Amino acid sequence: MLKLHHAPNSRAGRIVWLLEELGLEYDINKMAFNPKGLKSDQHRARHPLGRVPVLEDGDVTLYESGAIVEYIIARHSDGALKPAVDSPLFPLYLQWFHYCEGMIMPPVNTIVVQTILLPPERRDNEVLAQAQRLLSKALSPVNEALEGKEYLIGEFSAADIMLGHACFMGRRLGCVGDDMVHLNAYINRLEARPAFKTGIDM
C-alpha cells in the first residue's frame, strides 16, 4: 500500500488530494510542521532535507511533489487525470503542470518565509512586496487562460492538482485580487471538490 509522509499547510496536501481523487488506498504519517519531526534522523533518512511530502510504494521512495504526482498517475491511475500523449490537450497539460513550480511557487515560498517563518526582526518588507507583485503577475496568465473554462485544460486533470493548489495558496496569501474573476471562480470550484477538502484539512 502507498504510504505518504505529510505535514499540514505544505505541498503534501496535493498528494492527499490526488490520492482521494483517484480513490486509492493509502496510509498516512501525519507530522507536525516543525523541526522536531521534519529534521529528525528518521525523517532525514526518507528526505535528506527533512521536508514533505515523501511517498513510499514498496521499495520506491520519492520526495518531490511533482514527481510523486507523475509517478502516481503513471503507475496507479489507470489513465485517469492525464490526457494521452497524442491528445491535443497534452501540450497544454504539460505547460500548466510545470508552470506551478516554475512560476508560482517561488514567490509563494518567499512570501511564506517573510510573513510566517522568519521572526519579525529578520523580515524584509521590500523582499516581501517584490514577491507579492511577482506572484500576482504570474497568476494573471492563469486567470486569462481560465476564461470560458472550468479547469485548466477544460477537463479536470492532475495539472489542476499541481497548479490549482498553488493558486489556492496564492489567494490565501492575499495575491489573487477581486479583478481575477476567472481565477477566483476556479479556486472556488476546486475548494468545492470533496477530495480537495480532504487534502487541505488532513
Q: What is the mean pLDDT of the chain?
A: 95
More confident site: 135 or 9? 135
pTM score, whole prediction:
0.94
Is the pLDDT reported for residue 36 higher than 80?
no
Q: Tell me the C-alpha distance between 69 and 122, whole Å.
A: 35
Which CATH number is associated with domain 2-76?
3.40.30.10
Instruction: State pLDDT tens for residues 37-89.
Output: 788 888 898 999 989 999 999 999 999 999 999 999 999 999 999 999 999 99
Q: Give residue 133's pLDDT.
A: 96
Return the CATH architecture of domain 90-193.
Up-down Bundle (1.20)
Q: Place 33 in a pLDDT band, splitting at 50, 70 and 90.
A: confident
Q: DSSP string covering 59-91, please? A: TEEE--HHHHHHHHHHHHSTTTTS--TTSTTHH
- Specify whether the backbone of 78 is left (phi greater than 0), alpha (psi in -120 to 50) or beta: left
The ranges assigned to domains in the chain are 2-76, 90-193
**Cβ–Cβ < 8 Å for 138, 167:** no
